[in-house]
Amino acid sequence: MREFYFPAFLDLRDRLCVVIGGGEVAAGKVLGLLPCGARVRVISPDAHPHIRRLAARGTIAWDARPYAPGDLDGAFLAIAATDDPQLNEAVHDEAIRGKVLINVVDVPDRCQFVYGAVFRRGRLMAVISTGGASPALASRVKRELGRVLGLEYGQLTSAFRRLRGYAMERIPTLESRKRFWLDLVRREEPLELLRAGRRQEAEAMLRGAVDAWAEREGGA
């Protein structure tokens, strides 16, 4: 019996993701897939205005018809988001047979993956999940995070991304770089500078931290 879900972030770039259903919930799932680079296909006789607009622009494919067996061929991931339990079960069964990752909305026992409440600050992302037990509680925790973590955390994440290549050049060993990053994230100065809008000073301070660490460790 499953006790927990394995937490993972999927690379959906150019992977076919099929959403069965065209209502508001389905539209929300589509909007969540698009920023990940997925190729999204919606199958539903009718569709939410968001889905219609995206299809009209060519951003997604919309097949304006009922689901039929074989609609998951070539899919990496599928979402069943209809109000018809029998239809959702048919989608689930096809996904299992075809080894397609499946989420049946609001039925955790029929899901191979579940959604969480997504908290974002720029490139920094946290997903809060209750394993399907209470999405409302996950949303509350997301709001609590928003009160604690400001925009500066997203800016710091982007600064770290820009710094990684330089750190790899200057600090030659993996173990030393690991210690460096652990030390760096404990410092409050970069966050304080970013909160004050002094981004260039923060970037210079981070680069200086790499140089100081490399000199101390005998790096390049």
74 & 125 share domain:
no
Residues 27 and 44 in one domain: yes
Identify the pLDDT of residue 185.
95
Do the domain assignments include residue 1? no
CATH of the domain at 101: 3.40.50.720
Q: Are residues 178 and 137 in the same domain?
A: no
Segment 3-25 shows an average pLDDT of: 92
Q: How far is CA 64 from the centre of its chain?
A: 28
- Which one is predicted more confidently, 125 or 21? 21
Q: Are 111 and 91 in contact (CB under 8 A)?
A: no
Q: Is the pLDDT of residue 219 over 80?
A: no
User: Does the structure show a pLDDT above 70 at 183?
Assistant: yes
Q: State the residue range of the domain holding 199.
A: 151-217
- pLDDT recorded at residue 1: 57
Tokens of 142: 């997301």
- pLDDT confidence band for 6 (50 / 70 / 90): confident
- 22 confidence band (pLDDT: 50, 70, 90): very high
Whole-model pTM?
A: 0.78
Chain segment 127-142, per-residue pLDDT in tens? 998 877 888 899 999 9
- For the record, the structure tokens of 202 come out as 């923060």
Tally of structural domains, the chain: 3
- The sign one gets for the Cα dihedral 93, 99, 105, 106 is positive
**Tokens 């799932």 belong to which residue?**
29
109 shares its domain with 99: yes
Mutual angle of helices 174-184 and 151-170, in 10-degree steps:
150
24 and 103 share a domain? yes
Residue tagged 């710091």 (tokens): 156
Q: Are 103 and 138 within one domain?
A: no
Residue 220 pLDDT exceeds 90 = no
Q: What is the spatial distance between Cα 153 and Cα 159, in angstroms, rounded to a whole number?
A: 10
| Six token digits for residue 207 | 């680069």
Q: What is the pLDDT of residues 55-79, one digit of tens each?
A: 999 999 999 999 999 999 999 999 9
Quick check: 181 pLDDT over 90?
yes
Task: Identify whether residues 144 and 156 lie together within a single domain.
Answer: no
63 and 95 part of one domain: yes
**Average of per-residue pLDDT across 172-180:** 93
